[in-house]
Amino acid sequence: MNTMNKTKVPIPVYLVIGIIAISFSAIFVKWSDAPASVIAMYRLFMTNMLMLPFLWRYAQEISQIKSKDWLRIAASGIGLGLHFLFWMDSLRFTTVASSTAILTLEPIFVLLGAFLLYRQRTSRTALISMFIAIVGAVCIGWGDFRFSGDALKGDLLSLIGTIAVALHMLLGKSIREHVSAFTYSFFAFLFAGSVLAIYNVAVDNSFTAYAPKEWGVFFLLAIVPTVFGHYVFNWLLKYMKATSVAMTVLGEPLGATLLAYLFLGETITTIQLFAGVLLLIGVGMFLRSNEGK
């Protein structure tokens, strides 16, 4: 069955919105001088505040959530919180292109997890398409990879964050089978923000000593990449396989690199442009093969 046409608005429209939105995340983080854990915490808590006025509509659903699902939501939220903590911190040590290119490993981790946990298989065509897309994404950031010093530290932090978000994605897929996107997202964001708040207390990060510009960045992160990015992808988990959603996120290295060129003055090479085209071809082929059934 073709899962790409189950909604009034075509699924590809939501995918494009989500990719553009999450691509702004690295730009906003680069604009901030606050600790990564503080940025991530306020990003999530501000998103919760934006969603709070609508929470009462889901009161009945919330009261019926089983204990095992609460545990899954909590674990998913912890995974998301750790992803933000490690990935945002990686941007202090390495470039946007390098950090986001490492995120391309996410669909591989999700693919392995989907097979081990749900025995979900993927066609040979889809695997080839995934390889093409990942090669393209890695080529976008390859020139910025460094194997020593701070850049290596940043790349390793990004890798840990990628593993954490893969866990978040896999758990989200199982939860979204019977929990609404709003309810799941609200509490996953709440658990993620709480983990980061505990971390900030533990390392004695300030909760208030930030300039107005910083609060503006926190709010932008809540609105753009969280509401229009992560929330949209959480919603899509109902209609698409977790591996497909993870593959779609591969568009972030291309989007973030283009935005870094426009807003941060980072360079774009001819190789990166061709790699971007290769990435898009691979993602398109994968979605057609994996979802067009």
Q: Which token pair is 256? A: 């973030």
Highest mean pLDDT of the ranges 24-28, 101-105, 171-175, 188-192: 188-192
Amino acid at 13: V
Give the single-character DSSP code of 18.
H
Average pLDDT, the chain: 84
Per-residue pLDDT, 1: 39
- For residue range 255-280, list pLDDT tens digits in order: 877 888 888 787 777 777 788 788 88
Whether the CB-CB separation of 111 and 122 falls below 8 Å is answered with yes
Q: Which residues pair with 2 in a beta bridge?
A: 292
Look at residue 100 in the predicted model and tell me its pLDDT. 65
> Can you give the residue range of the structural domain that contains 265?
3-291
* Domain total of the chain: 1
Higher pLDDT, 11 or 77: 77
pLDDT above 50 (res 133): yes
Buried b / exposed e along 203-229 (16+ C-beta atoms within 10 A): eebeeeebeeebeebbbbbbbbbbbbb
d(CA 162, CA 118): 20
DSSP state of 15: H
- Give me the helices (H) in 104-211, please: 106-118, 124-142, 149-175, 181-202
Residue 31, class by beta-carbon neighbours within 10 Å (0-12 exposed, 13-18 middle, 19+ buried)? middle
Ramachandran category for residue 119: left, alpha or beta (phi over 0 → left; psi -120 to 50 → alpha): left
| 3 DSSP assignment | G
Give the confidence band of 6 by pLDDT, cuts at 50, 70, 90.
low
Predicted model pTM = 0.81
